[in-house]
Amino acid sequence: MASEVTVITPEQRDLATVEVTSRLVACNGGGGPLGHPLTYYEIGPSGVAVCNYCGKKFVLAGAQG
């Protein structure tokens, strides 16, 4: 069974923080020539993951913190 992965959309490219509904997220900086390599992050107990390339913050919906 595959896990749900949230991938940012071009509309979310300029957002510093993206609220997501899955614990597994993928970031490519928004895609296209302004992006970066596709990287995956797992949101841990803190409810937050941060992209190592662009600094985009992914926050799990409903997370306390």
pLDDT tens, residue by residue, 16-29 = 899 999 999 999 88
Segments of the chain assigned E as strands? 5-7, 17-20, 24-27, 39-42, 48-50, 57-60
* Cα dihedral sign, 51-47-8-25: positive
**Region 26-52 average pLDDT:** 88
**Region 26-53 average pLDDT:** 88
Q: Say if 64 falls within a structural domain.
A: no
Q: Say if 49 falls within a structural domain.
A: yes
* pTM flag (> 0.85): no
How confident is the prediction for the chain on average, in pLDDT?
85
Q: Say if 63 falls within a structural domain.
A: no
Query: pLDDT grade, residue 1 (50/70/90)?
Result: very low
For the chain, the domain total comes to 1
Q: Say if 43 falls within a structural domain.
A: yes
CA atoms within 13 A on the CB side of 6: 19
Domain that residue 22 falls in: 5-58
Q: How far is CA 4 from the centre of its chain?
A: 12
Q: Say if 44 falls within a structural domain.
A: yes
Q: Which residue has the higher pLDDT, 8 or 57?
A: 57
